[in-house]
Amino acid sequence: MSVRSVLHSAFTSKLYVTVLVAIALGAALGLIAPEVGESLEPVGTGFISLIQMLIGPVVFCTIVTGIASAGELTAVGRVGVKALVYFEVVTTVALLAGLVVMDVFEPGKGINADPNSLHLSGSAEKYLQAGESQNWYDFLIQIIPHSVVSAFAEGNVLQVLLVAILFAIAIKALGGRGEPLVRGIARVGDAVFGVVKLVMYLAPLGAFGAMAYTTGKFGLATLTSLGSVIGLFWATGIGFSLVVFGVIARLCGLRILKLYRYFKDELLITLGTSNYEVVMPQLMRKLENLGAPKRIVGLVVPFGYAFNGDGVCLYLGFASLYIAQAFNVELSLWQQIGLLAVFVITSKGSAGVAGAGFVILAATLSTTGVVPVVGIMLILGIDRFLSTMRGLVSLSGQIMGSLVVSRWERALDLERARAVLNGESVEPLVEDDNEGEKSAAVVSPAGSSA
């Protein structure tokens, strides 16, 4: 086979190859021609918007068909509770990891910043105002939409989740009369996933535009001045993903590196766009293809976008201590534990908040008064680079969430999962009209997009 044919095959059938090349080209363009790179912001945000418009229908169709085929409703409640327990435990571990890394390496020492010499910029003030308007219970109140239509119009995943659960319970109460409705919604879901597949062809273009904007706007100066902080946070995120999620994967009977290879498309798209919501539809289908039941994936993944703040929590512990060290604020063990306790609560209010990590950091520092909130200016310039790793860590948590709960429910097809991860040929998941289950065979056994 010639080099030309190999390259042609890679760029036409391997999404991760084209996304990786697009990321590299975007980064290069942003560094070489910053103004051009910064002007490409609409390209990245446009792709993100295309995917986000489909998340509501995907969640609704998946939840309804999943719950309708789940048997007793008590099973649905059990899955939800297990998902919440898993996400709470891992996010707390992420907070601890961020604090421990900062206590060991102390990258903020020696900066000797003066709080009185710093002033909040317009963008930082915006984040602070958004944070101050957020309460820990907001995500509970915001679950209730103003109307059924507004849940989809506003793209609020939690609201769509609530509507879908109530609708599924109502269909369940209809008994046999509800089966045609379930099959119809399953067909609509197939069509929506078809649209997702079409939009994903634009993923390289979206990653190119987003990366060009990032490097064009912030450039080498930012990377050079705070490169050590960025590097330490990325190293922490990678280490956390390999160690913590590696242990969790082994408990599920799987290997983390094989899982990352299988989900490489989603990881690279998140890397390029700094947004892990855009891979939600593909993530759900590939988890089903891996052997996780649709009824579990359909519930755990949407829950995760509200309660899975692994990346955000890692960032909160990291950033808060960096600011404290830069201002020479000595925090005792009990003060750090107090911050951790507050972050455990406030991080749950990040659903649907733009720049969630930065908003929660600003809000918590302003309310606790332990660390000067003006210190957020010290990391404002590099927040975009930190948010990329936040997204990658949170995506890893999303992947493991469905697998853990499926294993906990003794419903994970481990034999199929290992075969798929090893690149072996497996039978596609077929639709069962009686159960409402549908095919997840939109991905190849190796995990690349079809």
Q: What local confidence, expressed as pLDDT, does residue 377 receive?
A: 77
Whether the per-residue pLDDT at 234 is higher than 90: the answer is yes
Say whether 437 sits in a helix, a strand or coil: strand
Question: What pLDDT band is residue 128 in, cutting at 50, 70 and 90?
Answer: low
CA-closest candidate to residue 307, choices 356, 252, 242: 356
pLDDT digits (tens, 9 = 90+) for 297-318: 888 888 887 777 788 889 888 8
| pTM summary value | 0.79
Extract the tokens encoding 141: 């109140």
Give the pLDDT confidence of 185-224 residue by residue, as tens digits. 888 888 988 888 888 888 888 888 888 887 888 777 666 6
Residue 351 resides in a domain: yes
pLDDT at 444 over 50: no
Asked if residue 430 belongs to a domain, the reply is: no
Grade residue 255 by pLDDT with cuts at 50, 70 and 90.
Answer: very high
Query: What mean pLDDT do residues 76-103 have?
Result: 89
Reported for 74-77, long-range contacts at CB under 8 A and 24+ positions apart, including other chains, are: 75/295, 76/165, 76/295, 76/299
Residue 230, pLDDT above cutoff 80:
yes
Mean pLDDT of the chain: 79
Does residue 435 form part of some domain? no
Q: Position 373: which residue type?
A: V
Closest to 235 (Cα-Cα) out of 142, 346, 364, 105? 105
Q: What is the separation of C-alpha 58 from the centre of its chain, rounded to a whole number of angstroms?
A: 16
pLDDT surpasses 70 at 436: no
Percent of the chain at pLDDT > 70 equals 80
Instruction: For residue 418, name the pLDDT band (cuts at 50, 70, 90).
Output: very high
* 3-state DSSP assignment of residue 254: coil
Question: Rg of the chain's alpha carbons, rounded to an integer?
Answer: 22
Domains in the chain, number: 1
- Identify the CA nearest to 309 among candidates 283, 347, 282: 347
In-domain check, residue 429: no
Domain that holds residue 68: 3-421
Q: What is the pLDDT of residues 133-191, one digit of tens each?
A: 555 556 567 678 888 888 888 777 778 888 888 888 888 888 778 888 888 988 888 89
Among residues 85, 96, 109, the alpha carbon closest in space to that of 229 is found at 109
Residue 428 belongs to a domain: no
Instruction: Count helices and strands (H / E) in the chain.
Output: 22, 0
- Domain contains 406: yes
CA distance 353 to 135: 12
CA atoms within 13 A on the CB side of 217: 16
CA distances from 361 to 55, 96, 335, 450 (A): 27, 15, 16, 40
Q: In whole angstroms, what is the distance from residue 322 CA to residue 326 CA?
A: 6
| Predicted confidence (pLDDT) per residue in 31-46, tens digit | 888 888 888 888 888 8
| pLDDT higher than 80, residue 105 | yes
The first and second tokens of residue 158, run together, are 């939690």
- CATH number of the domain where residue 225 is located: 1.10.3860.10
